[in-house]
């Protein structure tokens, strides 16, 4: 079930296409492979083309990097038995190494753009067993941008609310509370000012396996990034850790 009716207007998509930033301009955010040690689990961060740059001149796909990775990987080491790499790998969807990573993290998907080739490749990755978490996008405009791409990836599969009974919410932690997870920028004097209510949505395959987990009007990456920040609410960080760990274990076991 969609939240917002209507489709993105042609003029809007024309402006998006005119202002896409080539992936090549973001190469400096990719790592030297020799610096990333081998491990049982490597977090994959999805590289995509986009409009402009995010905060501190990072490309949108690299928002919260590397702090978010540092904290969530340390949490995985403490709270699970996984052998976890300390850093994520940054991967374009056309990179063949994508199939070696069962879990992909995509931030700021309210700004992403995928070509026809990339949408087909993402569909192949997901149907072959991959799992995508879409995080940190807010409001009607960004939701429309995200949905335009995900409909091109899966024109035949609906985006629906994740039910309380889904294995994703119980694979390690029982996530019975759907508390909205804010970004630090949404906090002021202890109150979160968000751009709408949270939605945990997803896309499923024919066997009922979740392919895409969608965190709308939430910022799980920020909650990881600011785990050591006394101004960020500890209960929100704790919840973000539980969601992240459930997502990863689900991806590696389903």
Q: What CATH architecture is 10-25+36-253? A: 3-Layer(aba) Sandwich (3.40)
34 has a pLDDT exceeding 60: no
- Domain layout of the chain by residue ranges: 10-25+36-253
Reported as a single tens digit per residue, the pLDDT across 37-85 is 578 899 999 999 876 555 556 789 999 999 999 999 999 999 999 999 9
> Which range, 35-44, 172-181, 200-209, has the best average confidence (pLDDT)?
200-209
pLDDT at residue number 9: 40
Reported confidence tier of residue 25, pLDDT bands at 50, 70, 90? very low
Which tens digit of pLDDT belongs to each residue from 129-171? 999 999 999 999 999 999 999 999 999 999 999 999 999 999 9
Catalogue the long-range contacts made by 35-41 (C-beta closer than 8 Å, 24 or more residues apart).
35/87, 36/85, 36/87, 36/89, 37/85, 37/86, 38/85, 39/83, 39/84, 39/85, 40/82, 40/83, 40/84, 41/76, 41/82, 41/83, 41/84, 41/85, 41/103, 41/248, 41/252
Where is mean pLDDT largest: 5-14, 73-82, 175-184, 185-194? 73-82
| Residue-averaged pLDDT of the chain | 84
13 CB-near residues (< 8 Å, 6+ apart) = 148
Query: Greatest CA span in the chain, whole angstroms?
Result: 50
pLDDT of residue 180: 87
Residue 93 pLDDT class (50, 70, 90 cuts): very high
């Amino acid at each position: 079930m969609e939240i917002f009716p209507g489709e993105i207007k042609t003029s809007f998509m024309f402006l998006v296409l005119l202002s896409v930033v080539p992936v090549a301009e973001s190469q400096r955010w990719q790592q030297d492979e020799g610096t990333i040690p081998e491990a049982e689990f490597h977090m994959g961060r999805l590289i995509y083309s986009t409009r402009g740059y995010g905060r501190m001149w990072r490309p949108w796909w690299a928002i919260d990097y590397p702090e978010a990775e540092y904290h969530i990987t340390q949490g995985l080491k403490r709270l699970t038995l996984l052998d976890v790499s300390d850093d994520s790998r940054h991967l374009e969807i056309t990179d063949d190494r994508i199939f070696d990573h069962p879990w992909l993290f995509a931030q700021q998907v309210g700004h992403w753009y995928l070509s026809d080739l990339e949408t087909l490749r993402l569909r192949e990755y997901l149907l072959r067993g991959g799992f995508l978490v879409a995080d940190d996008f807010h409001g009607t405009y960004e939701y429309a941008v995200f949905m335009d791409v995900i409909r091109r990836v899966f024109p035949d599969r609906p985006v629906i609310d994740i039910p309380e009974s889904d294995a994703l919410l119980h694979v390690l932690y029982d996530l019975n509370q759907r508390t909205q997870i804010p970004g630090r920028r949404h906090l002021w004097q202890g109150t979160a000012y968000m751009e709408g209510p949270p939605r945990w949505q997803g896309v499923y395959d024919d066997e009922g396996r979740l392919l895409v987990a969608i965190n709308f009007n939430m910022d799980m990456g920020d909650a990881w990034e600011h785990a050591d920040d006394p101004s960020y609410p500890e209960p929100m960080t704790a919840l973000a850790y539980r969601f992240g760990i459930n997502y990863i274990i689900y991806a590696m076991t389903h």
